[in-house]
Amino acid sequence: MDTYMALRGVCRSWRNATAGPAVDGTMVDGATDPLFMLSKWAMVTQSLRADAGVTLVNLSTGRFLSKRIPLLLRYFFLGATGGGLLVLGEREPPHLMRVFNPLTGAMARFNLPVVRSEVAAVAVTPSPLMVFISVRHEDAINMTPFDGNVHLTNWGSIISTFQRVVVDGAGTTRSAQTIGIATTIPPLSSAGTSLFYLVESAGELLLVTKKWSFVPHLVYKVDMVKKAFEPVRSIGNRALFVSSGRCFSVDADKFPGVEPDRIYSVELSLTGAPGFDSYKVTKVHVAGGGPAETIEDENVLLRRGCFQPARLVQVFAEYCKFVGYPGLGLAL
């Protein structure tokens, strides 16, 4: 998409000959066309200080893109969606929320004040553009957009948004007033003894479980039609990065040093040096099902504010690091 937008920036004639996200640069419904909505980009670094820079990586192709966006100096950073959109807050009171597409420059404006310290994670769905905000210190974790809705896991159960049905049978417009949230799949029988991670991978919704006191992980496909969990014995060339803050899937063939059919579990460590965030990254094999063999344990020290990783595994560990236990809110 960035190449397409660079082409449009050449001159007025080229812009007239190509489709744009919106006439006035705002992210209205017309700007949520799939051509302009980010879906496979992850923001791995950001700075809203003097350089106002962001670095994105395409999880499908392995391409990294760094951009300097001076406009971002007007806002504080709230979070990045799994697709690469940035959720921002205005620096001046009442700190209204904004959603920004770093590749097109389109921005959606919401009359919703936000408190920076309360936001744990964000998700965005198009048509119409809606923002889901998770807040800290609640017990619902891993908010993941999938198939037009947003799903969470709460101790092994799946909680999902849905379109409310009108009593008289008339159709309704999808909006914050017509969206409901409910448990769609009950928890696994082992819910009381595990950690749970929800991740979209290659068009499927997966639930990864981990015993509190043990390394082995189990992977299940979340079947939203049958309302059931199906055991998964292999994820092929995919690799999953999971944490209580953010989960995502990559094509391991596109990223040197990332191994296929693996789960990289990122956990907060209590052994870090002062001034550092310490994270324990555990890598386990998925193939074969059942308890997986521990492949690697390593401590990754990430200096706050100036993280300069040497390996892609560290880049992705920083991206999905622990950010808290969220609850759910909704903005339209």
What is the C-alpha to C-alpha distance for residues 269 and 279, in angstroms, rounded to an integer?
5
> Pseudo-torsion of CA 325, 112, 35, 242, nearest 10°?
-10
The one-letter amino acid at 132? F
Which pLDDT score is estimated for 30? Answer: 41
77 phi, psi to nearest 5 deg: -85, 130
Cβ atoms of residues 302 and 321 within 8 Å: yes
pLDDT tens for residues 57-67? 888 788 888 88
Taking CA atoms, 171 is separated from 150, 167, 203, in Å, by 21, 10, 28
Cβ atoms of residues 116 and 78 within 8 Å: yes
Nearest to 205 by CA among 227, 182, 175, 176: 227
Nearest to 101 by CA among 121, 76, 71, 74: 71
Strand partners for 183: 159
pLDDT tens for residues 181-235? 889 999 877 555 678 889 999 899 999 988 765 556 789 999 999 999 999 989 9
> pTM above the 0.75 mark?
yes
**pLDDT tier, 284 (very low <50, low <70, confident <90, very high otherwise):** confident
The one-letter amino acid at 93? P
Q: Would you call 268 exposed, middle or buried from its count of C-beta atoms within 10 A (0-12, 13-18, 19+)?
A: middle
What is the C-alpha to C-alpha distance for residues 141 and 235, in angstroms, rounded to an integer?
23
Which pLDDT score is estimated for 221? Answer: 95
Nearest to 202 by CA among 63, 60, 81: 60
CA dihedral (227, 232, 237, 241) positive or negative: positive
- Residue 83 tokens read as 């697709």
Per-chain mean pLDDT for the chain: 74
Provide the percentage of residues in the chain whose pLDDT is more than 70: 64
Taking CA atoms, 232 is separated from 78, 208, 282, 293, in Å, by 34, 10, 19, 16
Domain range annotation of the chain = 12-320
